[in-house]
Each structure stands twice: as C-alpha cells, then as structure tokens.
Amino acid sequence: MTDGPRGPGDQGPGDQGPGGTPPPASRPARGQRSFWKELPILIGIALVLALLIKTFLVQAFSIPSASMQNTLTMGDRVLVDKLTPWFGSEPERGEVVVFHDPDNWLAGEPTTDPNALQTFLSWIGLMPSAEEKDLIKRVVGVGGDTVECKGTGPLKVNGKALDETSYVYAGNTPCSVDDQGGQFTVKVPEGSLWVMGDHRQNSRDSRYNQADKNQGMVPVDEVIGRAVVVAWPVNHWSNLPVPDTFDQADLNSSSAAAGVLSVAPQGAAFAGAVPFVLWHRRRVSAARTR
C-alpha cells in the first residue's frame, strides 16, 4: 500500500535522519559579496600587479631635456624593457637605454618636488619617478670597442665610420670641436658602455664626464633597460629600433660574441627541454607496446 499524497510539512520515512531524528535544516544560499566589499581586493591585486610589472617587466620614464632630440623630445614618455636583462642580455650598440647616474652626471640639474599623488603613482610605476636620478642616451660603444671623434666627424667605432644622419639632430655634426671632451679616442672596457646623446651639441654624455671615476663610461650594472616605445603623447607614438649603420658586418670582431649572449637563454631553454621530450617519447612508445 502507498500513502496518500503528502503535504508540504509532512515527512516520510526516507526523510528522517539517522535514528529517526529529523534531517538537518538546509543552509540558506550564501549571498553574493557586494561590489564595495570586493573593490579593496581588486585594488590590492591591481597594485601588486603594477608593482611586479614595474619591477620586472616595463617601466615608464619621462624625457626631461633636449639631449636626445629629435629621437625623443621633452615631455615624451618612453616604455623601458626591464625583462630582457634578467635573461643575461646586455645592451648593444645603437640601442637607446635608461641608466642610473653613474657618478654625479646630473649635478646642478633642477629637481621637481612631486605632490603626494605623483609620488604614489610613480611608486607603482604609473608615472616616472621624480626622485630617481636616471639618464637616457644611445649606446655607441660596448666592451672592447674603440670609439673616436676627430674634427666634426664622422664618429668611428673600431675604425668604421657611422652614418648617423637618421638620428643625429639636424644641423649638428657627429663630433663636437671643443677641448672639453668633444675630441676623443677611448677604449671601452668590458662591462661598460660609451653613450652619447642624439642632440650632439646639447648632451652632457660620456664625452663630458671623462674625469669621473668611470672615465665617462657607464657600467652595464647601472643600466635599467632599453627604451623600446614612445608611448606618450599619442602623436609621438613610435618604436625605437637600432639604426642600420650599427648592422655593419665588419663593425668589430666581438659582434659574434654579442650574438651568443643574446641567444644564450633561448639555447639553454632548448637544451633543457630535450631530455623531457625524449623521456615523454619513451613513455608513449612503452605504452603502445603493452
């Protein structure tokens, strides 16, 4: 026999808990967390991501002077690649790099006094820092290079003349005729760079800092990264490629070594992957023969 239809409050035998006790009341569905409660979490995550990006990937910098005209003009914002150096790559000739002041190159330069908002935005990488003493120049010589300027130019690297018409400021000569450093012949030591501004007659670069502790060189350890993109203002959007003149096949004999450095991380990754691939193929082969 079957019971008649049960009402909403009736319980059948199958509805009882262990020992005939009533079943536990079901918990009400948990309400969705409100937007205002989640907002601080979202902001915290965004700040952490911004700090990680600034520290390891990309950072924005502002151009404060005319020393890199017309490649970069005052007020431009550039994005600097900070990731590549983590894989052992070093700056190469022709690259535009940002670096820490090696030895008081910015002495006497005016500094700005940022407000609280600007300080916070620079801390998380959304604005350039006004407190950091950084410079931006073009790498002309790397470790082992001989760089020289005689008369008005051309600038020579290891005896090879560079055609700099594509980036040196219009009206400037590649070399400056003066007795403060514009005429020089230097040998760049390993682990160092010789840097110059594109606005040759308006740039206090390696030439005019030869009396410092590094003889005008920039230690590679002081390099923050390579400037790769002009991100602001919008009408200045562009990338910053290495000029063709630095691609001369016989520029120097150390170019092959530089090539080894640039592909070393990829080669190491490939070598590390080979044992895993061989192991995986053996497992697949063994499974098929079972």
23, part of any domain: no
290, part of any domain: no
For the question of residue 285 being annotated catalytic, the response is: no
Q: Which helix (H) or strand (E) holds 81?
A: strand 77-81
- CATH number for the domain including 200? 2.10.109.10
Catalytic option among 82, 129, 137, 192: 137
Using alpha carbons, select from 252, 256, 259 the residue that is nearest to residue 160.
252
State the Cα–Cα distance between residues 176 and 284, nearest whole angstrom.
Answer: 68
78, part of any domain: yes
256, part of any domain: no
The model's pLDDT over 96-123, given as tens digits with 9 standing for 90+, comes to: 999 999 999 998 665 555 667 666 666 5
193, part of any domain: yes
Q: Tokens 């096949």 appear where?
A: 249
70, part of any domain: yes
| Residues 6+ positions from 103 with CB-CB distance below 8 Å | 209, 212, 213, 214
State the Cα–Cα distance between residues 214 and 274, nearest whole angstrom.
Answer: 43
For the question of residue 67 being annotated catalytic, the response is: yes
97, part of any domain: yes
Catalytic option among 54, 62, 65, 67: 67
The model's pLDDT over 172-209, given as tens digits with 9 standing for 90+, comes to: 999 999 999 999 999 999 999 999 999 999 999 999 99
Tell me the pairing of strands 96-100 and 134-141. Answer: antiparallel
80 class by beta-carbon count within 10 Å (0-12 exposed, 13-18 middle, 19+ buried) = buried
107 class by beta-carbon count within 10 Å (0-12 exposed, 13-18 middle, 19+ buried) = exposed
The model's pLDDT over 22-67, given as tens digits with 9 standing for 90+, comes to: 665 555 555 566 777 777 777 767 666 655 555 556 788 889 899 9
CB atoms < 10 A from the CB of 227, how many? 25
The more confidently predicted of residues 252 and 190 is 190
State the Cα–Cα distance between residues 254 and 142, nearest whole angstrom.
Answer: 9
pLDDT score of 108: 67
Number of domains in the chain: 1
Domain range enclosing 100: 60-118+132-247
